[in-house]
Amino acid sequence: MKKHLRSQVAALFLLLPTTTVLLGLPGTALAQPAAPQLRSMQVGSDSGLRAGAQLDFTVEGTPRGQVSLTIRGIPRTLVLKETERGVYTGSYTVRRQDRVEENSQIRATLRVRNRTTAANYTFPAGMGDTSVATAPAGLKIDRFSVAPIDKLEPGAELRFTLNGMAGGVAEFDIPGVVNNVPMREVRPGVYEGAYTIRRLDNLAPSRPVVATLRLGDRAVTSTLTQALLTDAKPPVIRNMSPREGEVVVRSANTSVSGTFDDAGGVGVDPKSVRLMLSGRNVTAETQITPQFFTYRADLAPGRYTMDVTAKDLAGNAVRQAWNFEVTPAVSAAPATVLLQVSSHTNNASVEGSPVVVRGRTAPGAVVDVKVGAVGALAGLFGLNQDLLTQRVQADGNGNFSFSFAPQFPLPGTRYEIQMTAGKDGMTATETRLVLFQK
């Protein structure tokens, strides 16, 4: 089917490479699993290739690499960011002095460690044609919706409905997964289409789904704003630090933190998170991500209440409040065992395997360690397993270390680490550390 430029709103194109350096490699080199691969490129534009148009690029390839683009007619290199595993995105606004044309070559380069591959792409036919910038009167998409499912898993069927002008040709794309899936007009102006999830699909709830309605040589598009998953379960706030009722010694950098757990859901919306510390809004001073929050400050001695509210992307709300106390620092040696982690900060990201944790306690003290892994690719995979139970002893200087090696170090996996240090004649001390797999 002949392709036409989609509307000026959010057109997406799947581009196939015209050449690639892998074609010049011997067959034995191609078979090496470590060789990086560029699989596809998508480009979108809100106004063709004219000055002021924003070009949006999405490249799929080997994860944990660096992708850069050079485009003939644009005197600068574009660096893309890995926003999902193996998915690199970036945008560029066309300047007046640029000389980019429809036949301008796009060269993508992917570097993973010390290995590099590249592929050449071109803009799709018709992208530089500004004559199709305006859709004909009456051609519009009134609504694009999906019947949410409980879980994104192989064999599950996504059913989409488009309401718009009758007598057209409709289809939808899930960029990076499938393109040009036809939708049948079941009633005048009502189009339906479905897609069954395959085992190897890299389909996450955050993936955009774009519908296109064509009439003749004109087209309009609409991006799905509805969640793919049925999510009626609110997220949970875990691993609060300090814990409920805990007494901590005042320091210049007291940390108040927690993690969000929305396993099986669509994830927490960071913009919805609000933190009140004893009635004072400290949201703007807090580091907030979909996985955790961390507030650091020099808190005066006293009793505090932290009240956290948040919503997931489906609108389900959670609220958690707890109390803790800050006491003045004292010069006398404490009666409890010192226990500090020196290798990582709470809620830090870790790479690779094994993960090594180092800390300091009283000389000769015994540290009991428990490590659990909790991970989720929302709606698709779940992980909850014990990784390590071990007792280690500090050396004469109080230094100790331990390591753990997850079997499947999936990005986003949360490692919950509990450490308890004890020594004869002193009160045991417990601390917790949360790390995230990068």
In tens, the pLDDT along 150-185 reads 788 899 999 999 999 888 999 999 988 899 999 999
CA distances 106 to 25, 59, 69, 78, 118, Å, are 21, 12, 7, 11, 10
Q: Of 368, 230, 374, give the one whose Cα is nearest residue 292.
A: 374
The H-or-E segment that residue 28 falls in is helix 27-30
- Determine the pLDDT at residue 265: 65
Which DSSP state fits 17? P
Q: Measuring CA to CA, how many Å separate 360 from each of 75, 342, 383?
A: 52, 7, 30
Copy the structure tokens of residue 81: 């960011």
Q: 224: exposed, middle or buried (C-beta count within 10 Å: 0-12, 13-18, 19+)?
A: middle
Predicted pLDDT at 334: 54
pLDDT digits (tens, 9 = 90+) for 350-372: 887 789 999 999 888 999 999 98
| Average pLDDT for 282-295 | 92
Give one word for 278, left, alpha or beta, with left for phi > 0 and alpha for psi -120 to 50. Answer: left
Query: What are the residues whose beta carbons fall under 8 Å from the beta carbon of 177, sequence distance 6 or more?
Result: 201, 202, 203, 207
Give the other-Cβ count within 10 Å of 14's Cβ. Answer: 18
Q: Above 90 in pLDDT, residue 61?
A: no
**Between these two residues, 241 and 427, which has the higher pLDDT value?**
241
Average pLDDT over residues 72-94: 88
pLDDT of residue 206: 65
Q: How many CB atoms lie within 10 A of CB 307?
A: 14
| Percent of the chain residues past pLDDT 90, beyond the cut | 36
Domains and CATH numbers, the chain: 13-131 (2.60.40), 135-223 (2.60.40.10), 232-332 (2.60.40.1220), 335-438 (2.60.40.10)
Q: Which residues pair with 58 in a beta bridge?
A: 42, 89
Q: Quick one: pLDDT at residue 16?
A: 42
Backbone dihedral angles phi then psi of residue 273, each to the nearest 5 degrees: -75, 135
What pLDDT, on a 0 to 100 scale, did the predictor assign at position 125?
A: 64
d(CA 213, CA 125): 18
The number of beta carbons lying within 10 Å of the beta carbon of residue 390 is 12
pTM above 0.75, yes or no: no
Under a CB-based contact definition with an 8 Å cutoff, are residues 358 and 350 in contact?
A: no
> Token digits for 16?
């196939």
Mean pLDDT for the stretch of residues 78-95: 88
Residues in the chain: 438
**Contact between residue 240 and residue 305 where contact means Cβ atoms under 8 Å apart:** no
CA angle, 393 then 399 then 405, to 5°: 70
Please name which of 176, 140, 178 lies closest in space to residue 158, comparing C-alpha atoms. Answer: 178
pLDDT tens-digit series, residues 122-135: 776 667 664 444 44
